[in-house]
Chains A and B, each alone.
Chain A
Amino acid sequence: MTNSTSTPGVVGGRLPKSEFEKRFSSELRPPLTVQEAAVAADRCYFCHDAPCVTGCPTGIDIPMFIRQISSGMPEAAARTIFDSNILGGSCARVCPTEVLCEQVCVREPSGGGPVEIGRLQRFATDRLMEQPAHPYDRATATGRSIAIVGAGPAGLACAHRLAMKGHEVVILEARRKGGGLNEYGIAPYKVVEDFAAREINWLLGIGGIRLEKDVDPVDAAGLEQLREEFDAVFIGVGLNGVNHFALDGGNLGNVVNAVDFIADIRQSDDLAEIPVGRDVVVIGGGMTAIDAAVQCRLLGGLNVTILYRRSRDEMGASVHEQAIAAALGVNFVTDARLIRILGGGAAESIEYEVTERAGKDRIGSGQIYTLKADLVLSAIGQRLQDAPDRLALKNGRIKVSGNGRTSLSGVWAGGDCVAGGQDITVAAVAQGRDAAEDMHAALSRPAEESGR
């Protein structure tokens, strides 16, 4: 192939093979050496009632684990982490720490930036996960069995906690691999080297969890059957649908949803085969938009533009993530509304209108421009689709109360599929874990009081 970054159209192989390897093996948050970890850990003040703990949705005892690293016990530090967050390894890599624990680190105002909590967490968890034995034991068997739908972060966290309590767990996963968006969604520069798959194997090491992959998606009837067969059910199906453009040209060729685009990259064995446009426009302002744009640049896309209807400040993606994209040469066109996509069979350009503020709303300004676009990626949000109709919803997602109780008795839910969440991995883990605790408590009570 002789394609280059300036080859028009949507083609693969824009870069030499070695360049792909180089670009996709470097990590956003590379591991710390022992010495670096000692220095980074020493910066922690061991705050009283530490703000970082509050900043972590799973409430990891951060000052404690950092102190354990300081005293040369990273394995003990990892135990502290996993006690609260069994996917602490993933979270160390993918959490937007700059808006979670690290944002509230008291080191931030005192200068020199926050303690590198994410990287320290990785330092500790990597070390314990390298060891052959799984660190947790199971309690005496309870004789109860629980079904979990979806092997994403929420389902896995729930499964592990339940197995630990002595329950038998079956996870039903529709895709060929477990891990949910950890496997299919998170950008490769956050998780390299098949980490998501390794983490699942390690997590399953506790025993008592059967992961059934490639099953038919569990539907309303399936859910009823699970309620019959199991003592309790947890739903962690994430957001299985994507929003589409309801506008002219939305059905043209090379108009692709960004989540699928990223999934293809994550699952690819040969990145040179992933076609990417020369002139790419990504519509949206969240983490997915940023990740998609960044991947396009890494694949050799020449002009990559994020088009967002509001301002930079209002983007769902953090300032840190925006900066990563900007540093890689992604253009930002903000306060701009996509009007239509133009082209013959496939996209050729887009038309957008500059927006103006009108109170809380935005209105068109009448200024209309076109932008070359041979690939248009839509990252305008995911949604829950085909939810069993007996489940009460709220804002299109499963309505829960307390620790993940749905409107159906014996059915709990957590992660992206429930209403009112944060749509990040660590929040899904917290909800899965808390639902497990609640299920365990319910199953431990006499039948008439339990959630069934």
Chain B
Amino acid sequence: MPSLQSEFIGIRSPNPFWLASAPPTDKEYNVCRAFEAGWGGVVWKTLGLDPHIVNVSGPRYGAVWGADRWLLGMNNIELITDRPLDVNLREIKRVKREFPDRAVVVSLMVPCEEAPWKEILPKVEDTGADGVELNFGCPHGMSERGMGSAVGQVPDYIEMVTGWVKANTKLPVIVKLTPNITDIRYPARAAHAGGADAVSLINTVSSITGVDLDTFSPEPSIDGKGSHGGYCGPAVKPIALNMVAEIARDEETGDLPISGIGGISTWRDAAEFIALGAANVQVCTAAMVYGFRIIGELTSGLEQWMREKGINSIEGFRGRAVANVTDWQYLNLNYVTKAQIDQDLCIKCGRCFAACEDTSHQAIVIGEGRRFEVIDEECVACNLCVNVCPVENCITMRRLEVGETDTRTGVTVDGSSRNWTQHPNNVAACG
């Protein structure tokens, strides 16, 4: 029986699923219910100094939907907690006492000076919380005040503030990163240099979800005006996965523990983050859309998959995909595949034809009776037909075997491997 037991920078939780710092973790009532439902831990909604901030009283979320209002991505202009500090601290203390086996981490955001950190950290320690997470990621509102992503976008600030925090608390420190940068490795390295015990990512992506074409106001609209918000939910998962992988395979940060966040909605998403190096995961949008009950699917799904794979612990597969993430220049250019269409599964919609004919390589022909076939001589194996085909596994990519000739290039596959650094067309490499 695989165990989902998690230990992240010394913080233990019965499973690796934490609720990310956000409305689901904004108060005792929510957190207790989440724990009762089975969540392994929470990162409490970000605390700041009093007087507490105020939120807009108009809509603070926007969304992007698929058909049937399937929520694909969500955006928010909510700030940090809008309740007094001592109310939150009292609740955290009670919750931790009531649920000693669950992880309770407190997210913090105070001005970029040492004094406020010195002031707030002892108060957090007093609650019995397991650790702190520094919110250097929030891209809206708070960043205008020199906090959140305003810190996260400047590696020097990250290092400096992390250093202050480490100097003023014994609690483990997680630095939460913003994706609104050009290269995630720099902020991660800075956190590492500042002494962070771990990083968590991603926070939300700066975004406008839409424009009302009657009022010409961006959405969500506050009295006819809008401000960029932070994008999250399924749509941002690929961005987050890449950033997690970049940190996991970086020489400087490869050993830095990662808490993976961004678009995690199912056990499968979580497993992918862990395979790319995350030691645990945090969930926000999926819980906000479906409620706390999804934890049942997350844990049972992950457990079943681990059992099927013969994996006994989270550590047993953490980072297993990292070594397979490489630079483009190291991809094997001698690996040749061709699209192939399973005629039994084909429903004859012709989407592959339209896609390949109009925007790819004119490698699909229509035969008698709408029979769609690939012309190997033209197919570059781009995978577009696979992606647009509505029937799963109807079009697949077949690897040419050793001895087979690629009729497009006339080259026979010999089983050897050659990448760009070894390619004759690469003038830099072969001189």
Binding site for B on A (CB under 8 A): 35, 38-39, 41-42, 45-51, 70, 106-107, 109-110
| Given A45-B390, A48-B354: A107 in contact with B347 (beta carbons within 8 A) | yes
A70 to B66, CA, bound (A): 10
Q: Are A42 and B68 in contact (CB under 8 A)?
A: yes
Binding site for A on B (CB under 8 A): 66-69, 347-351, 353-354, 366, 370, 390-391
- Which residues on the A side are within 8 Å of B351 (C-beta)? 45-48
Residue of B at shortest CB range from A49? Answer: B350
A41 to B66, CA, bound (A): 12
- Which residues on the A side are within 8 Å of B366 (C-beta)? 49
- Which residues on the A side are within 8 Å of B67 (C-beta)? 38-39, 41-42, 70
Smallest distance from the beta carbon of A66 to chain B beta carbons, Å?
Answer: 12
Smallest distance from the beta carbon of A395 to chain B beta carbons, Å?
Answer: 31
Contact of A38 among B68, B370, B390 (CB under 8 A): B68
- Which residues on the B side are within 8 Å of A48 (C-beta)? 349-351, 353-354
A48 to B67, CA, bound (A): 21
- Which residues on the B side are within 8 Å of A106 (C-beta)? 347-349
3 closest A-B pairs by beta carbon, nearest first, are A48-B350, A42-B67, A48-B354
Smallest distance from the beta carbon of B419 to chain A beta carbons, Å?
Answer: 37
A51 to B350, CA, bound (A): 10
Smallest distance from the beta carbon of A353 to chain B beta carbons, Å?
Answer: 43
- Which residues on the A side are within 8 Å of B348 (C-beta)? 47, 51, 106
| Given A39-B67, A42-B68, A51-B370: A110 in contact with B350 (beta carbons within 8 A) | no
Q: Are A39 and B68 in contact (CB under 8 A)?
A: yes
- Which residues on the B side are within 8 Å of A109 (C-beta)? 347
A46 to B358, CA, bound (A): 14
- Which residues on the B side are within 8 Å of A107 (C-beta)? 347
Residue of A at shortest CB range from B389? Answer: A45
A39 to B68, CA, bound (A): 5
Q: Are B68 and A110 in contact (CB under 8 A)?
A: no
A-B contact list, 7 entries, CB within 8 Å: A35-B68, A48-B353, A49-B366, A70-B67, A106-B348, A107-B347, A110-B391
A51 to B366, CA, bound (A): 13
Residue of A at shortest CB range from B351? Answer: A45
A47 to B350, CA, bound (A): 6
- Which residues on the B side are within 8 Å of A42 (C-beta)? 66-68
Residue of A at shortest CB range from B68? Answer: A39
Residue of B at shortest CB range from A39? Answer: B68
Smallest distance from the beta carbon of B351 to chain A beta carbons, Å?
Answer: 6
Contact of B347 among A49, A50, A110 (CB under 8 A): A110
A48 to B388, CA, bound (A): 12
- Which residues on the A side are within 8 Å of B350 (C-beta)? 47-50
Residue of A at shortest CB range from B354? Answer: A48
Residue of A at shortest CB range from B372? Answer: A48
A48 to B349, CA, bound (A): 6
A159 to B183, CA, bound (A): 67
- Which residues on the B side are within 8 Å of A50 (C-beta)? 350
A51 to B353, CA, bound (A): 14
A48 to B358, CA, bound (A): 11
Smallest distance from the beta carbon of B385 to chain A beta carbons, Å?
Answer: 12
A39 to B69, CA, bound (A): 9
Smallest distance from the beta carbon of B392 to chain A beta carbons, Å?
Answer: 11
Q: List 7 additional contacts besides A42-B66, A48-B350, A49-B370; criterion CB under 8 Å.
A: A42-B68, A47-B348, A48-B351, A48-B353, A48-B354, A106-B347, A110-B347
Smallest distance from the beta carbon of B50 to chain A beta carbons, Å?
Answer: 45
- Which residues on the A side are within 8 Å of B347 (C-beta)? 106-107, 109-110
Residue of B at shortest CB range from A44? Answer: B349
Smallest distance from the beta carbon of A109 to chain B beta carbons, Å?
Answer: 5
Residue of B at shortest CB range from A36? Answer: B68
- Which residues on the B side are within 8 Å of A110 (C-beta)? 347, 390-391
Smallest distance from the beta carbon of B212 to chain A beta carbons, Å?
Answer: 13
A19 to B354, CA, bound (A): 52
A35 to B69, CA, bound (A): 9
A107 to B347, CA, bound (A): 7
A257 to B370, CA, bound (A): 45
Residue of B at shortest CB range from A47? Answer: B349
A257 to B33, CA, bound (A): 71
A130 to B333, CA, bound (A): 60
Smallest distance from the beta carbon of A101 to chain B beta carbons, Å?
Answer: 14
- Which residues on the A side are within 8 Å of B68 (C-beta)? 35, 38-39, 42
A426 to B94, CA, bound (A): 72
- Which residues on the A side are within 8 Å of B353 (C-beta)? 48
Smallest distance from the beta carbon of B70 to chain A beta carbons, Å?
Answer: 9
A38 to B366, CA, bound (A): 31
A48 to B346, CA, bound (A): 14
A81 to B67, CA, bound (A): 23
- Which residues on the A side are within 8 Å of B391 (C-beta)? 110
Smallest distance from the beta carbon of A389 to chain B beta carbons, Å?
Answer: 46
- Which residues on the B side are within 8 Å of A35 (C-beta)? 68-69
Residue of B at shortest CB range from A63? Answer: B349
- Which residues on the A side are within 8 Å of B66 (C-beta)? 42
A49 to B390, CA, bound (A): 16
Residue of B at shortest CB range from A40? Answer: B67
A45 to B366, CA, bound (A): 17
> Among the interface residues A46, A51, A106, A107, which one has the most CB atoms of the partner chain B within 10 A?
A106
Smallest distance from the beta carbon of B359 to chain A beta carbons, Å?
Answer: 12
A172 to B281, CA, bound (A): 76
Residue of A at shortest CB range from B364? Answer: A48
A437 to B234, CA, bound (A): 52
- Which residues on the B side are within 8 Å of A70 (C-beta)? 67
Residue of A at shortest CB range from B394? Answer: A110
Residue of A at shortest CB range from B348? Answer: A106
Residue of B at shortest CB range from A38? Answer: B67
A106 to B69, CA, bound (A): 24
A108 to B353, CA, bound (A): 20
- Which residues on the B side are within 8 Å of A46 (C-beta)? 351
A42 to B72, CA, bound (A): 15
